[in-house]
């Protein structure tokens, strides 16, 4: 069995495929007859100078292309509803992080069991490059669902987890959420997808997905560091 | 103002243009103003495109990019996609197609134009450095209330003037249609363009106040310290989005429905047969107009609105596909059994329908909320709406220009330039926007002047720019054709396409007093799509 890279990207990819097949079929049954008619019913002086005035409607056909598309789109919408439910239902045992957007970066807080912040990572605004210093990467464990609680300090931003194919706005005064799970360790892109000003295209982050044991170490190790810097 | 009306447009002096209340002259002024702004916004678009060609900032700074993008979006939508053709062709054609002397309130009509002109001046003022507005045409708060967004007030006042203009036009057109039809013109033998125009203006009448309200609150928040949208003091930024999209979603149908009307007129003429399913076409137009008011939340699928609202609106949104589908199928069926002439207006129409078909099919993923969660605010959306609004609409207008050129100017548009420009625009647009959609599926966000050098993104953006260049050349050829037609085009006969529709039964260019003192005689069996003899060319 092929390994799944990320959720909810897996279902998203399937949904796109379903749409694509339907779209290509509709395209074919519409465009091909159109092209055929254009070739066949061409104006020819002396031969075909006037169109068939009787062909100005047909209730049966018109009903057909009202009813069939209605059914098709309702089926698609219902299928999308089912996928949507999975995209919005955070699996049991998810780890929660708090992400706050600001102009133009992200502040990520890791919580303990009681909901206290144990560690904070802040990505600084970098207007010229897409390099991210090691300590500003958002580290998450592989193979574990992550629930992201989103909000913003200033204007609206949006948190797009590229490998997971999911985005949700970070709105000041509100808490929104999304969840994702990435199974393969590695580095992945996060982008701001709601227009937020001059730095919008440089409001990004690197997601560093590591094996769970390594994540546990990282979380502990850096906690000590954070404490020490607070003392100073 | 009578004397102004007594002069045909080509011998009218400046004073007559300024004081005219003639629907034809006002229409021409609307269209020319819109076209100038289209050209400028198109140049802005090309600069945006060059900036996005490769990663890094090569052409403009991010803040200037945001200004150009705000200007491009706002001007393309409000000047080109609404005012140019509704104010331009709507004014010119409405009285002619229903056999009227003018619109119902000619002076109000002049006011519409001059309010629009005022908005145009305001927009030009933003060209001055220091006056830039950078909040995008959507103007979402709290960003729009932030200093980084530039001078929000210009946008607010431009919208207010445009609103005055649109509401006056809507009242005028609706009244004209209801009260001033020549005897014999009824609901079931009105041109489909007029049905579309009236539906679009009904939407305007209901919706525009909502937009005006949204931007007014923006203004109050920014300059007078109110807190409609400030969450720190109990306001809600999502309120703006709701009020804004309540109009701005239906607005896309205001833009496209009249274009459907152009398609129907031109398709019938160059297939030499009646439009297939005339009645279902009329129902479809009104169906679209009604559904358009209950789908706005699909612009907010990822904004944090409750999940039930997203699902509900996902259903209503996919339903828009039904009436639009009816229209496309009816157009295809119109071709069946026709005597098809591929003159350039017909090419533009067929191309526009083709673009709309792709635009419609790529609208479905935006409506299916599950897919939208992955493509919202990506370049996919930009590609999608350039298919429908950008290109189906622009090709519709270009086709309409060539088709009614004889009636408006008295000359023919040069056919060879029409054909060449069509192929350039069609091929360029497809390369340009298709690659944008693919880049969006691969995750590339919209409104990004810079992006990391992800190889697929770079390749797609480079191909996209080649398409944009071809498209740009096509648009230029089209504009050259307009100038050439105007200065040295062949003299046009009264009815070059041999159409039974009323506007073709008078001289070219249309005489100052339209049909003369009395309304035209309309035969009891009149129908705008009843074709007899083949056309004269
Ligand atoms: C002349 C050819 C055109 C070119 C080269 C062009 C190019 C572009 C580019 C590069 C973007 C920016 C993508 C981004 O960074 O997100 C854009 C956005 C846009 N374009 Fe065009 N475009 C053209 C025609 C049109 C037309 C005819 C319309 C409408 C009738 C239109 C409406 C828009 C809108 C509404 C946006 C989005 C603005 C925003 O994000 O707020 N464009 N266009
Ligand atoms: Cu942001
Ligand atoms: Cu942003």
Tens digits of per-residue pLDDT, B158-185?
999 999 999 999 999 999 999 999 999 9
Say if residue B1's pLDDT is above 50: no
Percent of all residues in chain A with a pLDDT value above 70, rounded to a whole number = 94
Looking at CATH, the fold of the domain delimited by B22-505 is given as Cytochrome C Oxidase; Chain A (1.20.210)
Q: How far is A54 from chain B (nearest CA, A)?
A: 8
Considering only residues 57 to 96 of chain A, which have any Cβ-Cβ distance to chain B shorter than 8 Å?
Answer: 57-58, 61-62, 65-66, 69-70, 73-74, 76-77, 79-84, 87-88
Nearest chain A alpha carbon to B235: A173
Is there a contact between A154 and B142 if contact means CB atoms under 8 Å apart?
Answer: yes
Structure tokens at B101: 């002397």
Three-class SS of residue B238?
helix
- What is the rounded average pLDDT of the residues A84-111? 94
Q: What is the pLDDT of residue A54?
A: 80
CA-CA-CA-CA dihedral for B450, B453, B456, B460, to nearest 10: 40
Question: Between chains, do A197 and B319 touch, taking CB under 8 Å as contact?
Answer: no
Contacts of B332 in chain A (CB under 8 A): 30, 33-34, 37
Q: Span A2-12, mean pLDDT?
A: 89
Model confidence at A232, pLDDT cuts 50, 70, 90, reads: very low
Q: What is chain B's mean pLDDT, rounded?
A: 93
Q: Do A174 and B238 touch (CB under 8 A)?
A: yes
Question: Could you say which of A49, A62, A80 has the minimum Cβ distance to residue B314?
Answer: A80
Write out chain A residues lying below 8 Å of B303, CB-based. Answer: 156, 169, 171
What is the average per-residue pLDDT within A172-184? 95
Q: From the CA of B11, how many Å to the nearest CA of chain A?
A: 38
Query: Average pLDDT, stretch B124-130?
Result: 92
- Contact (CB, 8 A) for B297 and B310: yes
Q: Quickly count: other Cβ atoms within 10 Å of residue A149's Cβ.
A: 16
How many whole angstroms from B476 Cα to the centroid of ligand 1? Answer: 17
CA distance A216 to chain B (A): 30
Question: Tell me: the pLDDT tens digits for B431-441?
Answer: 999 999 999 99
pLDDT of B532 above 80: no
How far, in Å, is the centroid of ligand 2 from the Cα of A195? Answer: 6
Q: How high is the pLDDT of residue B533?
A: 67
CB B370 within 8 A of CB B233: no
Between A58 and B203, the higher pLDDT residue: B203
Looking at CA atoms only, how far is residue B24 from chain A in angstroms?
A: 32
**Which residues, other chains included, contact A180 with Cβ-Cβ below 8 Å and sequence gap of 6+?**
A6, A7, A8, A9, A145, A146, A148, A161, A163, A164, A166
ipTM score assigned to the predicted complex = 0.91
Distance B72 CA to ligand 1 centre (A): 6
Q: Is the pLDDT of residue B4 over 50?
A: no
pLDDT tens sequence across B202-231: 999 999 999 999 999 999 999 998 999 998
| Residue B233 CB burial class (10 angstroms; 0-12, 13-18, ≥19) | exposed
Averaged pLDDT for residues A5-29: 95
The Cα B186–Cα B177 span in angstroms is 10
Residue B303: is its pLDDT beyond 60?
Answer: yes
pLDDT at A230: 47
Q: Is the pLDDT of residue B387 over 70?
A: yes
**Can you give the length of chain A in residues?**
232
pLDDT classification of A222: cutoffs 50, 70, 90? low
Per the CB < 8 Å rule, is B304 touching A83? no
Taking residues A160-189, what's their average pLDDT?
A: 96
| pLDDT (tens digit per residue) in B511-528 | 988 998 888 888 888 999
A113 falls in which pLDDT band (50, 70, 90)?
confident
CB distance B69 to ligand 1 below 6 Å: yes
Query: Where does B413-454 have alpha helices with state H?
Result: 415-441
- The predicted structure's pLDDT at residue A177: 96
Of B385 and A54, the one with more pLDDT = B385
Q: Does the pLDDT value for residue A229 go beyond 80? A: no
CB B433 within 8 A of CB B461: no
Residue B290 CA: distances (Å) to CA of A41, B136, B286, B344, B369: 36, 28, 6, 33, 21
d(CA B115, CA B118): 5
In degrees and rounded to multiples of 5, residue B286 shows phi and psi of -70, -30
H helices of B9-151, in order, are 14-19, 23-52, 62-74, 91-98, 106-125
**Pick from A111-115, B37-41, B424-428, B527-531: least confident:** A111-115
Q: Are B534 and A43 in contact, with CB atoms under 8 Å apart? A: yes
Confidence tier at A224 by pLDDT (50, 70, 90) = low
Rounded CA separation A45/B395 (Å):
28
Q: Report d(CA B337, CA B276) in Å as an integer.
A: 11
pTM of the model: 0.94
pLDDT band at B6 (very low <50, low <70, confident <90, very high): low
Q: Which of B25, B39, B28, B47 is nearest to B75 (CA)?
A: B39
pLDDT for res B225? 87
Could you tell me the sign of the dihedral formed by the alpha carbons of B481, B483, B484, B488, in that order?
positive
Position B411 scores a pLDDT of 95
Query: Where do runs of H (alpha helix) occur along B53-151?
Result: 62-74, 91-98, 106-125
Domains of chain A (ranges, CATH numbers): 6-44+55-88 (no CATH), 95-229 (2.60.40.420)
Q: Which residues of B touch A80 (CB under 8 A)?
A: 314, 368-371
Alpha helices in A42-166 (DSSP H): 59-88
CB B88 within 8 A of CB B31: yes
Task: Decide: B372 and B300 in contact? Cβ < 8 Å.
Answer: no
B236: confidence class by pLDDT, cuts 50, 70, 90: very high
Nearest to B378 by CA among B451, B465, B443: B443
Chain A CB contacts of B329 under 8 Å are 30, 61-62, 65
């Amino acid at each position: 069995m092929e390994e799944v890279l990320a959720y909810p990207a897996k279902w998203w990819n399937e949904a796109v495929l379903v749409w694509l097949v339907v779209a290509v079929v509709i395209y074919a049954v519409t465009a091909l007859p159109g092209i055929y008619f254009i070739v066949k019913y061409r104006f020819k002086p002396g031969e075909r100078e006037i169109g068939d005035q009787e062909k100005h409607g047909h209730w049966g056909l018109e009903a057909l292309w009202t009813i069939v598309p209605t059914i098709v789109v309702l089926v698609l919408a219902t299928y999308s509803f089912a996928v949507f439910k999975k995209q919005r239902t955070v699996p049991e045992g998810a780890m929660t992080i708090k992400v706050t957007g600001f102009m133009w970066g992200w502040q990520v807080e890791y919580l303990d069991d009681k909901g206290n912040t144990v560690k904070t990572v802040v990505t600084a605004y970098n207007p010229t490059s897409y390099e991210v210093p090691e300590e500003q990467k958002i580290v998450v464990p592989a193979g574990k669902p992550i629930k992201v609680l989103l909000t913003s300090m200033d204007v609206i931003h949006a948190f797009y987890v590229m490998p997971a194919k999911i985005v949700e706005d970070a709105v000041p005064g509100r808490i929104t959420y999304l969840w994702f799970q990435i199974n393969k360790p590695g580095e992945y892109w996060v982008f701001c997808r709601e227009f937020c000003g001059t730095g919008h295209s440089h409001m990004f982050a690197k997601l560093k997905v590591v094996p769970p044991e390594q994540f546990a170490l990282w979380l502990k190790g850096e906690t000590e560091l954070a404490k020490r810097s607070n003392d100073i | 103002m009578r004397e102004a009306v007594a002069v045909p447009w080509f011998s009218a002096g400046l004073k007559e243009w300024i004081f005219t209340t003639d629907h034809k002259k006002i229409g021409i002024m609307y269209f020319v103003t819109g076209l100038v702004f289209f050209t400028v916004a198109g140049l802005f678009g090309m600069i945006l495109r060059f900036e996005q060609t490769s990663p890094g900032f090569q052409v403009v700074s991010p803040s200037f990019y945001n200004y150009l993008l705000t200007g491009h979006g706002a001007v393309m939508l409000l000047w080109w996609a609404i005012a140019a053709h509704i104010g331009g062709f709507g004014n010119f054609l409405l009285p002619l197609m229903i056999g009227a002397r003018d619109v119902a309130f000619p002076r109000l009509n002049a006011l519409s134009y001059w309010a629009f002109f005022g908005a145009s001046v305001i927009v030009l003022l933003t060209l001055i450095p220091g006056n830039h507005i950078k909040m995008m045409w959507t103007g979402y708060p709290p960003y729009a209330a932030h200093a980084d967004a530039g001078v929000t007030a210009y946008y607010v006042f431009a919208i207010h003037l445009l609103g005055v203009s649109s509401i006056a036009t809507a009242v005028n057109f609706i009244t004209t249609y209801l009260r001033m039809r020549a005897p014999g013109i009824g609901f079931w033998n009105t041109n489909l363009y007029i049905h579309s125009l009236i539906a679009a203006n009904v939407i305007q009448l209901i919706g525009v106040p909502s937009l005006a309200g949204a931007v007014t609150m923006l203004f109050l928040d920014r300059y007078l310290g109110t807190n409609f949208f400030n969450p720190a003091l109990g306001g809600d930024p999502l309120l703006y989005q709701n009020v804004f999209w309540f109009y701005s979603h239906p607005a896309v149908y205001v833009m496209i429905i009249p274009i459907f009307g152009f398609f129907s007129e031109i398709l019938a003429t160059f297939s030499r047969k009646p439009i297939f399913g005339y009645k279902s076409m009329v129902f479809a137009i009104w169906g679209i107009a009604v559904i358009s008011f209950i789908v706005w939340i699909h612009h907010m699928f990822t904004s944090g609105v409750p999940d039930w609202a997203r699902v509900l609106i996902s259903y209503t949104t996919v339903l828009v596909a039904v009436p639009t589908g009816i229209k496309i199928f009816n157009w295809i069926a119109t071709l069946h059994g026709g005597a098809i002439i591929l003159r350039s207006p017909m090419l533009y129409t067929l191309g526009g329908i083709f673009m709309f078909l792709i635009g419609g099919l790529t609208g479905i993923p935006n409506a299916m909320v599950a897919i939208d969660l992955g493509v919202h605010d990506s370049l996919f959306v930009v590609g999608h709406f350039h298919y429908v609004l950008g290109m189906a609409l622009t090709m519709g207008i270009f086709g309409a220009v060539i088709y009614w050129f004889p009636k408006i100017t008295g000359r023919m548009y040069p056919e060879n330039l029409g054909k060449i420009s069509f192929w350039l625009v069609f091929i360029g647009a497809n390369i340009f926007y298709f690659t944008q959609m693919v880049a969006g599926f691969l995750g590339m966000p919209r409104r990004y002047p810079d992006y990391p050098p992800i190889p697929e993104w770079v390749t797609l953006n480079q191909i996209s720019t080649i398409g944009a260049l071809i498209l740009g050349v096509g648009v230029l050829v089209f504009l050259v054709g307009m100038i050439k037609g105007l200065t040295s085009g062949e003299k046009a006969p009264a009815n070059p396409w041999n159409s039974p529709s009323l506007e073709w039964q008078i001289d070219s260019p249309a005489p100052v007093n339209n049909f003369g003192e009395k309304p035209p005689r309309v035969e009891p069996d009149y129908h705008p799509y009843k074709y007899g003899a083949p056309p004269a060319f």
